[in-house]
Amino acid sequence: MLKDFFMGLSQNQFLNTAAKKYGLKLGAQSVVAGTTIEETIKSIKELNAHGISATVDNLGEFVFEKEEATKAKEQILKVIEAIHENKVDAHISLKPTQLGLDIDYAFCLSNLREIVHLANNYGIFVNFDMEDYGHLAPSFDLLDELSMEYGNVGTVIQAYFYEAQENLEKYKNYRLRIVKGAYKEPEEYAYQDKKDIDKNYMKLIEWHLLNGKFTSIATHDHRIINQVKEFVKKNNIPNDKFEFQMLYGFRKEMQLELAKEGYNFCTYVPFGNDWYGYFMRRLAERPQNLNLVAKQVFNKKTNTIIGVAAGAFLLGRISKANNKKRR
């Protein structure tokens, strides 16, 4: 129920708009690297100092106007320039919908081409984040077109989809991030049971480690991480064939520990004012993340449920206020 609750909140455009006005006051400041490029570069430098690389996501939701998509493109281009100028160990993660996929395919492709072209000039990798099932096919189409021109692109395979293995094999020669999946998908397209998703997730990781180009293993689950460690050791898979990935602000000690152990590690670094949808999906993914919200809102370690309820209550009040104004 909690997952459905937060997934519902993540898709509420009124709350998304209202949340921007409150900045990062509802606890999101702990999982968002900053609201500016300068703040984000500083966060990346801190990660690099510990031997951790970064993939940078310019946050954005509900983009249905060309002007907004163009602004997102320009911001990402600035991030690429900043990565190059500051010589930090980082690459780009982006969502096609933020760059116009829901507006016009050709327009989105043009925006993506400009980003990938500049990144390619600087030797910077660009990862195409995958979203809900409705955007899966066109996102893969965009990747296919751009990969004919550039070699610095890769994408994400979501383990809860039935077709994940098929897509993994098709894109085995790409750098791939393998995730469990963060959206609420119907049973027609995706596994619903956590055990089934976890089983398929590990199956995909092992297959790509043995057959793929480079594998980014994105998980906070220490059990899966330990399974991967055992698998790579048993199969003599070198460390330069894979990396672990976690989200900025989550399991910091484990991130540092894995880097110290000599594993390649990359932190997913989101930034910007449009943090709401991203933050709600993080709450939906793992109930443990609710503790983080309570600590940030109240700066206490107790009464987690009250903390979450207070945040949800405030968002609900914002929504009611908006509805009254509309009347």
Domain-ending residue, one of 256, 274, 292: 274
More confident of the two residues 304 and 107: 107
More confident position, 304 or 126: 126
Q: Are residues 222 and 130 in the same domain?
A: yes
pLDDT at 182 (0 to 100): 79
Point out the domain boundary residue: 274, 290, 316.
274
- The catalytic residues are 129, 177
Q: How many structural domains is the chain composed of?
A: 2
- From residue 72, alpha-carbon distances to 21, 28, 123, 273 in Å are 19, 21, 21, 12
Residues 150 and 6 grouped into a single domain: no
pLDDT at 283 over 90: no
pLDDT at residue 107, rounded to an integer:
98
Tell me: the pLDDT tens digits for 128-169? 999 999 999 999 999 999 999 999 999 999 999 999 999 999
- Whether residues 110 and 239 share a domain: the answer is yes
DSSP assignment of 239-304 equals GGGEEEEEETTSSHHHHHHHHHTT--EEEEEEESS--HHHHHHHHHH-TTHHHHHHHHHHS-SS-H
User: Mean pLDDT: which of 28-42, 50-64, 266-280 is highest?
Assistant: 50-64
- 300 and 231 co-located in one domain: no
- Pairwise CA distance, residues 204 & 164, whole Å: 8
pTM: 0.82
Burial of 111-128, coded b for 16+ CB within 10 Å and e otherwise, reads bbeebbebbbeeebbbbb
Query: The domain spanning residue 203 has which CATH number?
Result: 3.20.20.220
pLDDT of 15: 56
Residues 6 and 93 in one domain: no
Q: Do 253 and 203 belong to one domain?
A: yes
Residue 215 sits in the same domain as residue 302 = no
Average pLDDT over residues 245-252: 91
154, 136: one domain:
yes
Highest mean pLDDT, choosing among 5-14, 19-28, 39-48, 274-283: 39-48
Give the list of residues 6+ apart from residue 155 with CB closer than 8 angstroms, or none.
127, 128, 129, 130, 139, 140, 143, 171, 174, 176, 177
For the stretch 258-280, pLDDT in tens is 999 999 999 999 998 777 667 76
Mean pLDDT of the chain, nearest integer: 85
- Would you give the DSSP letter of residue 173? T
Do 103 and 79 belong together in one domain?
A: yes
pLDDT score of 300: 40
Q: What is the share, in percent, of the chain residues with pLDDT greater than 90?
A: 69
Residues 37, 115 within the same domain: yes
For 234, what's the count of Cα atoms within 13 Å in the CB-facing half-sphere? 9
Domain span including residue 124: 33-274
Domain co-membership, 270 together with 188: yes
Within a 10 A sphere around the Cβ of 251, how many other Cβ atoms? Answer: 17
Residues 324, 177 share a domain? no
